[in-house]
Amino acid sequence: MQALRCQDMLQHAPYILGVEIVLTLQHLHDLHYESLCSFSIPKIQAGPRSSCKRTQTLPAMLLPHDAELYVMYRDVNDGIFVRTAAHNSIFILQQHWQQLANVLPQDSVCRVVAYKNKMGNLMLGVYDLLRVCGDDLQQHTVFERQKVLYSLFAKQNAGNTIVPHWVGEEGCLLTHLQNKQFISSVPFKIFNMLCIDAQTEHVDAYKIVLKPLLID
């Protein structure tokens, strides 16, 4: 049920999605529109799985409680557009998040996870970078794309509510999640892990990975 909630309920959407692009599509350059439509958010497969030796080297990230996934595109005219996994429509990103332009170059696409931190502040965690300045990065590994992502954040500041969201090997994250001190240091409540490199019939698909139970 939580996996479905991440995709479909979209409780954070009223604070992220701006005007829906419907009547003005013809005014967008075809290349810009195609660029946005060609990048999507992989579906989250139903049912969680446990981590095992075979999956330990796959890229995964901590999944915050009540997380939602979005894909965002900045065009060459500095417009920032956003899509969700729950709708085919394209929306303008609300003005509150325009500081994303500080770290996302023109003609670039990123994937983000939206969540509330332990202070109750809505955050955008940028976890993947699919396109930079017109160059498609999808042929690179998730870890290689993370290096580019963190280099962009190292050059500019996007404010306190737009942050890079770390992706590591599933086995490494599993080890960290067995450390209570680490869990308490994370600025958000953790639901589980999310493997972001699983594929089903050559279609990108994410998978919920159960976090370990801590026994006193």
How far is Cα 124 from Cα 61, in angstroms, rounded to an integer? 14
User: Does residue 203 surpass a pLDDT of 80?
Assistant: no
Specify the higher pLDDT residue, 102 or 42.
102
Q: Where are the alpha helices (DSSP H) in the chain?
A: 2-8, 30-37, 142-155, 170-176, 180-185
C-alpha dist (Å) from residue 57 to 29, 98, 176, 190? 40, 35, 14, 21
pLDDT for residue 63? 96
pLDDT for residue 212? 84
Average pLDDT, the chain: 86
User: Does residue 2 surpass a pLDDT of 50?
Assistant: no
Identity (one letter) of the amino acid at 11? Q
User: Does residue 201 surpass a pLDDT of 80?
Assistant: no
Structural domains in the chain, sorted by start: 2-209 (3.30.470.30)
pTM for this predicted structure: 0.88
In 3D space, the residue among 94, 70, 76, 86 whose CA is nearest the CA of residue 20 turns out to be: 94
Q: 66-95, pLDDT tens digit by residue?
A: 999 999 999 888 999 999 887 778 899 999
User: Does residue 191 surpass a pLDDT of 90?
Assistant: yes
Q: 143-175, pLDDT tens digit by residue?
A: 999 999 999 999 999 999 999 999 999 999 999
Q: 48-63, pLDDT tens digit by residue?
A: 999 999 999 999 999 9
Specify the higher pLDDT residue, 214 or 10.
10
Specify the higher pLDDT residue, 32 or 153.
153
